[in-house]
Amino acid sequence: MAWDRLTAEQRELRDLVRRIARERIAPRAQEIDESHEFPWDVVELYRENDIFGLFFDEEHGGLGTGTLLALIAIEEVSKVCASSGLILAVQELGSLGTKLAGSADQKAKYLPRLASGEWLCAYALTESGSGSDSAAMRTTARLDGDAYVLNGSKRFITNAGVANLYTVFAKTDPEQGHSGISAFLVESDAPGFEVARLEPKLGISGSTTGELTFDDVRVPRENLLGSEGEGFKIAMRILDRSRPGVAAQALGIAQGATDYALDYAKTRETMGRPIVQHQLIAAKLADMETECEAARGLLYRFGEMCDDGVDGAELTKASAMAKLKCGDVAMFASTEAVQILGGYGYIKEYPVERYMRDAKITQIYEGTQEIQRLVIAREMAKESRAFLLAGV
Q: Supply the residues annotated as catalytic.
A: 366
Residue pair 95/56 in contact by the 8 Å Cβ criterion? yes
Q: How far is Cα 19 from Cα 36, in angstroms, rounded to an integer?
A: 24
Contact 316, 381 (CB under 8 A): no
Residue 113, exposed/middle/buried by CB under 10 A (0-12, 13-18, 19+)?
middle
- The residues, any chain, with a CB within 8 Å of residue 286's CB and separated by 6 or more, are none
Tell me whether residue 83 is exposed, middle or buried, using C-beta atoms within 10 angstroms of its C-beta: 0 to 12, 13 to 18, 19 or more. Answer: buried
Is the separation of the CB atoms in 298 and 318 below 8 Å? yes
CA 34/CA 336 separation, integer angstroms: 23
**What is residue 277's DSSP assignment?**
G
